[in-house]
C-alpha cells in the first residue's frame, strides 16, 4: 500500500511518517518544507520514502498515481498562524485541501483522511460530541470546517473519506513546537522555572500525544471502510480534557518542579470539553500516552540538549520570519523547488 502524506515534514507528519514506514507502507511526502527536510532525517534513507517539495495548491496531479491513501495534513497550523494572513490561510487550509481531495478522487485513490481540529467547537459549555453545534471563532477553525464540508461531499463507495478532529497535540517531535500548551509550559519551567498560562486558566481544552495522533491514522487506514466512510471522529481521550490551570499544575508535578505561574495574554475566547466515545466505540481506538508522559519526555530532551528552543520552534514567529523574507509568498515553483 502506498500512502501520500501532505504536510509530512511538520510537527505531526515527522512522527507519522516513520510510524507508517514501520508498518511497511510505501510513503510519499508532499510538503513545502518550510521547517527543513531534517525533520525526517531519521528515515531519509528508507527506500520506501519519497520526498516531494511542492504545494498542495498547484502540485502536479501525477504525484497521486498509484497512491492508495491520502493523509491530508498540509496547513498553516494553529489559530495565531491562521490570523497572520487570513486569505492565505483560506487558500492553503481550505482551497488547497479541497483540491487535494478532489484530485485524489479523480486519480482513483481509495481513501482520503482529512486532519481537522477540535478548535472548530470554539466556545461551548458541556461535553461535546460530533453531533454538537460548532462555533469556529478563528480563520484557522473556519478553514478547517470548510475543508471538512468539501471533502465529505466527495465520499462514495469507491472513495472513502474520513474526517478527524484532533485534540490539542503535545509531545516530542523532530519538528518541535513550543507554541502548543503542554510543550510551552515545559519550556517555561525549563528556562524560567515558571509556567506561562493564558488567562484565565478556567478554559477547557482536550489534549492528545503526537504519538497517539500517528496511531489514530494507522488505526483508521486499517479499519473496514464501512466503519469510517463519510464519518467524522473527534480524536483524543475523555480523561485528557483539562482546564488550563490544573493542566499546568499536573505538568509541574510530572517534572518535579515547584508550581509557579506566569499569566500572559487576554482571556482565551476558546473553551471546549470533548467526548471521544465515537471513535473508541466504532473502531476501538484508544490513546496510550498521558500529559505526564509528554512533559517528562520534553523536559528530559531539553536537559540533554536534544531539544533547543529556537525561532523555528514557535510556528507563528517562524511564519512571520518567512513572510518578511518573502519565503512564504506564492512564489514560482520550478522542478518542484520553491524559489
Tell me, what's the pLDDT at 263? 83
What are the distances in angstroms from CA 62 to CA 49, 52, 72, 258?
Answer: 17, 12, 17, 55
Q: What is the pTM of this model?
A: 0.93
Tell me, what's the pLDDT at 338? 31
On whether the CB atoms of residues 32 and 338 are closer than 8 A, the answer is yes
The stretch 160-188 carries a mean pLDDT of: 96
On whether the CB atoms of residues 338 and 55 are closer than 8 A, the answer is yes
Beta-ladder partners of 261: 195
The stretch 53-65 carries a mean pLDDT of: 97
Tell me, what's the pLDDT at 261? 87
By percentage, how much of the chain surpasses pLDDT 90? Answer: 79
Q: Kindly report, residue by residue over 177-186, the tens digit of the pLDDT.
A: 999 999 999 9
Element (H, E) at 164: strand 160-166
What are the distances in angstroms from CA 16 to CA 173, 213, 218?
Answer: 10, 8, 9
Query: Does 335 score more than 80 pLDDT?
Result: no
Question: Residue 279 — φ and ψ, nearest 5°?
Answer: -70, -35
Number of H helices, E strands in the chain: 12, 16
By percentage, how much of the chain surpasses pLDDT 70? Answer: 94
DSSP letter at 96 equals: I
Q: What angle do CA 22, 23, 27 make, to 5 degrees?
A: 80
Tell me, what's the pLDDT at 268? 79
Tell me, what's the pLDDT at 80? 61
Tell me, what's the pLDDT at 333? 34
> Residue 242 corresponds to which cell in the numbers above?
483539562
Give the Cα separation of 184 and 8 in Å (integer): 22
Tell me, what's the pLDDT at 331? 44
Query: Does 334 score more than 60 pLDDT?
Result: no
User: Residue 89: which pLDDT band, with cuts at 50, 70 and 90?
Assistant: confident
More confident residue, 125 or 227: 227
The stretch 222-242 carries a mean pLDDT of: 98
User: Residue 266: which pLDDT band, with cuts at 50, 70 and 90?
Assistant: confident
Q: Kindly report, residue by residue over 279-333, the tens digit of the pLDDT.
A: 999 999 999 999 999 999 999 999 999 999 999 998 888 877 877 776 655 543 3
- List all residues 6 or more positions away from 85 whose beta carbon is below 8 Å from its beta carbon: 323
**Alpha helix segments (H runs only) across the chain:** 13-22, 79-84, 86-89, 97-106, 139-152, 181-192, 210-221, 225-228, 244-254, 277-283, 291-304, 315-324
Question: Residue 49 — φ and ψ, nearest 5°?
Answer: -110, 135
Phi-psi region for residue 117, left (φ > 0), alpha (ψ -120 to 50) or beta? beta
- Cα 232 from chain centre: 16
CATH topology of domain 2-171+207-239+273-288+317-338: Rossmann fold (3.40.50)
Q: Kindly report, residue by residue over 111-120, the tens digit of the pLDDT.
A: 999 999 999 9
On whether the CB atoms of residues 69 and 113 are closer than 8 A, the answer is yes
Pairing of the two strands 168-170 and 195-198: unpaired
Amino acid at each position: 500500500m502506498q500512502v501520500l502524506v501532505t504536510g509530512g515534514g511538520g510537527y505531526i507528519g515527522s512522527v507519522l511518517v516513520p510510524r507508517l514506514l514501520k508498518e511497511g507502507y510505501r510513503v510519499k511526502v508532499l510538503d513545502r518544507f518550510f521547517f527543513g527536510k531534517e525533520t525526517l532525517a531519521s528515515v531519509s534513507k528508507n527506500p520506501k520514502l519519497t520526498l516531494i517539495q511542492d504545494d498542495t495548491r498547484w502540485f502536479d496531479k501525477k504525484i497521486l498515481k498509484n497512491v492508495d491513501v491520502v493523509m491530508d495534513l498540509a496547513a498553516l497550523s494553529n489559530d495565531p498562524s491562521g490570523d497572520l494572513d487570513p486569505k492565505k490561510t483560506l487558500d492553503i487550509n481550505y482551497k488547497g485541501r479541497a483540491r487535494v481531495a478532489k484530485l485524489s478522487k479523480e486519480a482513483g485513490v481509495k481513501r482520503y483522511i482529512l486532519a481537522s481540529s477540535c478548535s472548530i467547537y470554539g466556545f461551548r459549555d458541556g461535553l461535546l460530541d460530533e453531533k454538537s453545534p460548532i462555533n469556529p471563532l478563528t480563520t484557522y477553525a473556519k478553514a478547517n470546517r470548510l475543508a471538512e464540508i468539501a471533502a465529505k461531499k466527495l465520499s462514495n463507495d469507491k472513495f472513502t473519506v474520513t474526517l478527524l478532529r484532533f485534540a490539542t497535540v503535545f509531545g516530542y517531535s523532530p519538528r518541535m513546537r513550543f507554541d502548543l500548551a503542554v510543550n510551552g509550559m515545559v519550556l517555561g519551567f525549563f528556562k524560567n522555572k515558571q509556567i506561562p498560562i493564558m488567562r484565565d486558566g478556567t478554559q477547557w481544552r482536550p489534549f492528545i500525544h503526537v504519538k497517539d495522533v500517528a496511531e489514530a491514522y494507522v488505526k483508521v487506514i486499517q479499519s473496514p471502510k464501512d466503519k469510517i466512510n463519510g464519518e467524522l471522529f473527534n480524536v483524543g481521550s475523555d480523561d485528557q480534557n483539562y482546564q488550563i490551570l490544573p493542566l499546568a499544575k499536573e505538568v509541574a508535578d510530572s517534572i518535579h518542579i515547584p508550581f509557579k505561574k506566569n499569566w500572559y495574554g487576554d482571556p482565551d475566547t476558546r473553551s471546549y470539553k470533548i467526548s471521544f466515545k465515537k471513535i473508541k466505540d466504532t473502531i476501538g481506538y484508544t490513546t496510550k500516552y498521558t500529559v505526564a508522559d509528554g512533559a517528562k519526555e520534553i523536559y528530559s530532551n531539553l536537559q540533554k540538549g536534544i531539544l533547543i528552543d529556537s525561532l523555528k520552534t514557535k510556528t507563528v514567529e517562524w511564519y512571520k520570519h518567512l513572510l518578511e523574507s518573502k519565503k512564504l509568498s506564492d512564489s514560482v515553483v520550478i522542478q518542484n523547488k520553491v524559489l
